Chain A
Amino acid sequence: MVPRLPFLEREAPLGYVLVIPAVLYLTIFIAYPFLMAIWLSLTDAEAGNAKWSFIGLDNYSKVVSSEVRVNDLVLVTLPTREEAEAFQKARRSAKLETTPQGARFRTAVVVAGRTIPLFEMDSSSDSEFAADTVVSEFDWQVHQAGKGWEVVAHGGDEPIRFGPFPDRASEKKALESSVLVKADTKVRTNGTGVVQDPNFRLSLLNTFKYTFGTEIIKLLIGVPCALILNRKFGARRLLRGLVVIPWVIPIAISAQAWLWILDSTYSVINWCLVRWGILNAGNIINFRGDPQWAMLSVILVNVWRGFPFTAIVILAGLTAIPDEILERARLDGANAFQRFIHIIGPMVRPILMVSLLFSVIFSFTDFNTIWIITKGGPYDQTQVLSTYAYQLGVNAGYLGKGAATSLFMFPLMAVMVFFMLRFLRREN
């Protein structure tokens, strides 16, 4: 038994004392808001309303009704192309034939001597209307399928809709008994949870666009930038210092410059393009207002802000490659391009993944850039999860839904980080 040291001589108690402020900070400013957000997301809390109640996962997903969209009905499968095309042409002379089937009505289409039952419904007019749509509105196409040829009725953007159904079971039952041919069916759900919210889905898509758009461009700029900064030239140290400026300037300040650069009337980019005769003064680009350009504009600003980090991290990776390895590669006969592909690239890859990991997290959760430049507009084209959560929870006052929206980022990021870390571990 080793005798214990006197209290003041021991290291551990001092460590615990010193760590108390950090623990308090983490608890008050990180753990509490995080747990509170989880709790809020499970309630129907609204700003200005003192009463809340627990509603479970309804904020995340609550299906009120669903409708089924039926498209691409396979009318017939024939052995040869000629027969299929003949069938396709006979569409003009197609007739509908509705017969009672017990308490229900079955509508078949009669084409080129074949009777093809299409729908069976409770009302004869519903059944006939659907079949008529297939015959007169849908585009009949001939496809090869296995050994035979199919004639498929394609509805494009206007499929046949069934529903609304109150639940999955009735939807499934109705579908099985109603559509008598093979067809492509898609379920659309309507509800009050964020998953059912089309704006949420748009924000999610935009978040991925924003994140991966940013990361790809950052790499395309950051890698060459790091390669240049790694060369030995006079102004290297100065340039290394200058390159981090975008990263250290607070976004609230640099965004003002970007607001001007991307201004709808006074944009300096437009001014240059008009000056150089590339654009006509009459149709200058509205970077922040045009749905086509808005996402690209916010990505551009984020790239400008983030690429120094990528470049510096890659530069650190490059400097860590011993000169002798590159010299050996030269002796081995590798030219500059081959050295980059076979030696520099693989050796920098682990640290590049670390930088990508951080930078994906920053971009995925970025609020500032978008809020300052576009506030999610125009028409929600740059709305990402963080800005949408803010608008839902703070601007609109739906605290529960806002919390649910922002918490959606958590599992998505956990999955991304998991795969990146796994890749890193494999590399080492």
Chain B
Amino acid sequence: MAEVVLSGVEKRFGEVAAVAGVDLTVKDREFVILVGPSGCGKTTTLRMIAGLEDVSGGDISIGGKSVTHLPPKDRDIAMVFQSYALYPHMTVYRNMAFSLQLRRMPKPEIDRRVREAASILGLTELLARKPRALSGGQRQRVAVGAALCRQAGVLLFDEPLSNLDAKLRVHMRTELKRLHQSVKSTMIYVTHDQVEAMTMGDRIVIMDKGKICQVATPLEAYRHPANRFVAGFIGTPPMNFFDGELRGEGAALAVVLGGDLTLPVPRPRLSGVSGRQVTMGIRPEHIQLGGEGNGTRVKVPATIDVVEPLGNEAIVTARCPAGLLQIETELTGDLKPGQPVSLLFDTAQVHLFDRQTEVAL
């Protein structure tokens, strides 16, 4: 069992709090992704779990045992670094065997584990090579292999795919996910790339300014972002935001945006919010180009600003009375900048956030 529990974990550098009170429980064998913009404290959190940073406050436990003040080697963890951190003077085999050799494991057992990890990752042919004779993707796999050999309860990944080219990154993403299904370790994975977070994790932890914004499954975070930051961070192209003011309440609730654009946003359980300053968010795929309004779909006039074709689809930036917005649409030949179009907002899919607290309403 390797359940990782963080309670009130803090990290301060002088006056600055890099991590300000993180509470998180990662279940045994779960694949959890820490995601957020740079400087949000996700890497610091991971390094505290690894024991590479001192903890300024709070407690970390792994497998029910508090490890807050244990050295890294006694924590039942293995880690894959962003730069792979391979020992350049050692062969692939020794790179993978090094930690086991230090633990004075019998040679046959070391050999068995190294070869097992190598065969899982397709490294068997490369065991005699030095890291500099490997490609980026191979180095990446060696780094993962070295961590796998340990057979630690918890595997930590610090942005392991960020040094790979786009194509390889997509490939390794799948491999790591498959790996998680075959090994019995808890995995905690740090990334700034929300696509990685969405595609790989059982659950994702979205962090901002040293705090956790939301812990949820990827779809939940996408569909029901807890605050404006999560809403804007998850999803490409990003959610469109407009400032507005609420009118009415309950089923008759409406939001008044710039240019006197009024959209009905029925929220039966919301009352006493009339006059509240809010930010309205709507994802690009919930805005349709052309067509007739009905029920929850509201027609909004706009003009096309920029068209970015992506093959079968295009990202269209348009200007509506409330401001600029982006939509995703099928690429048709007749989209020209300056062309007037009508947009259909799916008001059932609209998110409302308090302007001050940025929390979802």
Contacts and interface: CB of A to CB of B under 8 A. Distances in A.
Given A324-B81, A324-B82, A338-B102, A330 B52 contact: yes
B78 interface: yes
A333 B85 contact: no
Interface stretch (B69-77, B133-141, B175-183, B193-201): B69-77
B103 A347 contact: no
Contact of A333 (B79, B86, B102): B102
B242 interface: no
Given A322-B85, A327-B81, 13 more contacts: A324-B81, A324-B83, A324-B85, A327-B52, A327-B85, A328-B79, A330-B52, A331-B73, A333-B102, A338-B102, A343-B87, A346-B89, A347-B88
B99 A333 contact: yes
A262 B65 CA distance: 62
A338 B85 CA distance: 17
Given A322-B83, A322-B85, A334 B52 contact: no
Contacts of A90: none
Interface in A337-357: 338, 342-343, 346-347, 349
22 contacts: A322-B83, A325-B85, A327-B52, A327-B81, A328-B79, A328-B81, A330-B52, A331-B50, A331-B51, A331-B52, A331-B72, A331-B73, A332-B98, A332-B99, A333-B99, A333-B102, A333-B103, A334-B98, A342-B98, A346-B87, A347-B89, A349-B89
B79 to A, nearest CB: 5
Contact of A332 (B83, B88, B89, B102): B102
B79 A331 contact: yes
A332 B81 contact: no
A330 B83 contact: no
Smallest CB-CB A-B distances: 7 pairs:
A332-B99, A333-B73, A328-B85, A324-B85, A346-B89, A324-B81, A333-B102
A330 B72 contact: yes
A383 B52 CA distance: 55
Interface of A: 322, 324-325, 327-334, 338, 342-343, 346-347, 349
Nearest to A343: B87
A283 B87 CA distance: 55
A338 B87 CA distance: 14
Given A338-B102, A347-B88, A347-B89, A331 B83 contact: no
Contacts of B52: 327, 330-331
Contacts of B89: 346-347, 349
Majority secondary structure of chain A interface residues (helix, strand, loop or mixed): helix
A332 B99 CA distance: 4
Nearest to B52: A327
Contacts of A332: 73, 98-99, 102
Contacts of A347: 87-89
Nearest to B89: A346
Contacts of B103: 333
B221 to A, nearest CB: 30
Contacts of B79: 328, 331
Contacts of A329: 87
Interface residues of B, number: 21
Given A324-B82, A324-B83, A328-B81, A334 B88 contact: no
A343 B79 CA distance: 18
Contacts of A330: 51-52, 71-73
Contacts of B51: 330-331
A59 B85 CA distance: 58
A324 B52 CA distance: 10
Interface in B86-102: 86-89, 98-99, 102
B51 to A, nearest CB: 8
Contacts of A328: 79, 81, 85
Contacts of B98: 332, 334, 342
A334 to B, nearest CB: 6
A26 B342 CA distance: 81
B85 to A, nearest CB: 4
Contacts of A331: 50-52, 72-73, 77-79, 99
Contacts of B73: 330-333
B275 to A, nearest CB: 53
B80 to A, nearest CB: 9
Contacts of B50: 331
A144 to B, nearest CB: 41
A282 B17 CA distance: 67
A104 B78 CA distance: 88
A325 B50 CA distance: 14
A343 B78 CA distance: 18
B105 to A, nearest CB: 11
- Among A327, A328, A349, the one with the most B-chain Cβ atoms within 10 Å of its Cβ is A328
A428 to B, nearest CB: 9
B253 to A, nearest CB: 52
Contacts of B86: 325
A343 B89 CA distance: 8
A328 B83 CA distance: 11
Interface string B46-63: 000011100000000000
A329 B50 CA distance: 12
Contacts of A322: 83, 85
Nearest to A346: B89
- Among B79, B81, B82, B85, the one with the most A-chain Cβ atoms within 10 Å of its Cβ is B85
A329 B85 CA distance: 9
A334 B102 CA distance: 7
B92 to A, nearest CB: 15
Contacts of B102: 332-334, 338
- Among B50, B81, B103, the one with the most A-chain Cβ atoms within 10 Å of its Cβ is B81
A402 B88 CA distance: 48
Nearest to B82: A324
A288 B167 CA distance: 71
B54 to A, nearest CB: 13
A328 B90 CA distance: 14
- Among A330, A347, A349, the one with the most B-chain Cβ atoms within 10 Å of its Cβ is A330
A346 B88 CA distance: 9
Contacts of A327: 52, 81, 85
Contacts of A342: 87, 98
A322 B82 CA distance: 12
Contacts of A325: 85-87
Nearest to A326: B85
A134 to B, nearest CB: 59
Contacts of A333: 73, 99, 102-103
A91 B98 CA distance: 66
Contacts of B81: 324, 327-328
Nearest to A332: B99
Contacts of A334: 98, 102
